[in-house]
Chain A
């Protein structure tokens, strides 16, 4: 009868990220520019610039950023050195550190967070209404239905 092999030790629980979030793990080091069109979770070492203009950037607890940051929303759980521009809001959580100048619509600083730098609150301009297309013009623009992959007749 074969001997039972001992079970491996349980792995430390990594935070579970929601779907649709790009992620860079804690062992990754990047020097350069990062641009994302989806929510981004950075837990590694980053030097350079990070742009997530229409989404949320989260700096994980192991994240060490020496970077200029531009995002819709920024959540800091790790360490950031650099200027941060967040059109909607910045959240600096307990035990995190941010050194740099901030420009944002709203800021939350938890007790126990460390921040050094300037804070400028800039309210976003009211969204301009979308221009309505008139029905006659819409018909003129209408194209025949065509499904990709099917041969045109």
Chain B
């Protein structure tokens, strides 16, 4: 897990912010370099930095805090068992990813997929496939350590085209941990999957629709 103490603190002094280079982010923005007026989906919840960066490039941003909606829809009772109920899955998708087909030119998924149990995970990935346009890209992040019961769930803020500022939201149990083969199987309906290994146990993945 990254050492938060070695980086800056937010203005409040309470949330430690960890800034790191991101090859995945750099690749994602290189694919859309020179374009304007795209629609990008950000699933980490609205933040001034992400809004400012993406709209500053001339794009439209669609913002959704998927983890907050996840807790709201599935939080009462058994969190992972609730994610197997079809009517709750439908409610979750309607609340969080209710966009027309092929609406988005790219999606920043971050680490949210790790917290989705298999039935919900499949439904969510299927929905993402439908709402992004062909030949567009998604950035997803997975934790690399397959021996932990809890993983840190971060807030991902874009510092610039190749850097992310991470602040810890909370520790959460993952629904499952993914090795490379599992990630490839997850996105087998997509055209291509590209991995970027990092030093801090996070695996960045660029997926091409």
Contact between chains at B46 and A113 (CB < 8 Å): yes
Given contacts A109-B46, A113-B46, contact A119 B51 (CB under 8 A): yes
Instruction: Determine whether the beta carbon of A116 is less than 8 Å from that of B51.
Output: no
- Does A111 lie within 8 Å of B60, measured CB to CB? no
Q: Is A107 an interface residue (CB 8 A)?
A: yes
Contact code string B30-55 (vs A, CB < 8 Å = 1, else 0):
00000000010000011110010001
Give the number of chain B interface residues (Cβ < 8 Å). 16
Q: State which residues 1-49 of B face A: CB under 8 Å.
A: 10, 12, 39, 45-48
Q: Which of B12, B55, B65 lies at the interface centre, i.e. has the most chain A CB atoms within 10 A of its CB?
A: B55
In the assembled complex, which residues on chain A have CB atoms less than 8 Å from the CB atom of B145?
none
Nearest chain B residue, comparing its CB with the CB of A108: B48
Cβ contact within 8 Å between A119 and B48: no
Most B C-beta atoms less than 10 A away, residue of A110, A115, A119, A120:
A119
Is there contact, CB below 8 Å, between B61 and A118? yes
Please tell me if B62 contacts chain A, counting CB pairs below 8 Å. yes
Rounded to whole angstroms, the CA-CA distance of A119 and B61 in the bound complex is 5
A117, B62: Cα distance in complex, Å: 6
Contact residue among B45, B60, B65 (Cβ-Cβ distance under 8 Å from A119):
B60
B60 contacts which of A109, A110, A114, A120 (Cβ < 8 Å)?
A: A120
Residues of B within 8 A of A22 (CB): none
Q: Which residues of A contact B48 (CB under 8 A)?
A: 108-111
CB pair A116 B47 closer than 8 Å: no
CA distance A116 to B46 in the complex (A): 7
CB contacts under 8 Å to B, within A80-114, are: 92, 107-111, 113-114
A115 close to B46 (CB less than 8 A): yes
| B65 & A116 in contact (Cβ 8 Å cutoff) | yes
Which label, helix, strand, loop or mixed, suits the secondary structure of the A interface? strand
Q: Is A121 an interface residue (CB 8 A)?
A: yes
Judge whether B184 is part of the interface by a CB distance below 8 angstroms: no
A116 contacts across to B, CB distance below 8 A? 46, 63-65
CB neighbours (8 Å) of B62 from chain A are 117-119
Chain B 63-102, CB-CB to A under 8 Å as 1, else 0, gives 1110010000000000000000000000000000000000
Contact B64 A109, beta carbon cutoff 8 Å: no
Q: Is the CB of B55 within 8 A of A119?
A: yes
Q: What residues of B have a CB within 8 angstroms of the CB of A107 in the complex?
A: 51, 55
Taking a contact as CB atoms under 8 Å apart, the answer to whether B65 and A114 are in contact is: yes
Residue contact A119 to B47, C-beta cutoff 8 Å: no
State in angstroms the CA–CA spacing of A109 and B10 once bound together. 15
Distance in Å: Cβ of A31 to nearest Cβ of chain B? 25
16 sample A-B contacts, Cβ–Cβ < 8 Å, listed by A number = A108-B48, A109-B51, A110-B48, A111-B12, A114-B46, A115-B46, A116-B46, A116-B64, A116-B65, A117-B63, A118-B39, A118-B60, A118-B63, A119-B46, A119-B60, A119-B63
The 4 A-B pairs of least Cβ separation, nearest first, read A115-B46, A121-B55, A118-B62, A119-B61
Task: Report which B residues bind A (CB closer than 8 A).
Answer: 10, 12, 39, 45-48, 51, 55, 60-65, 68
A residues lining the B interface (CB < 8 Å): 92, 107-111, 113-121
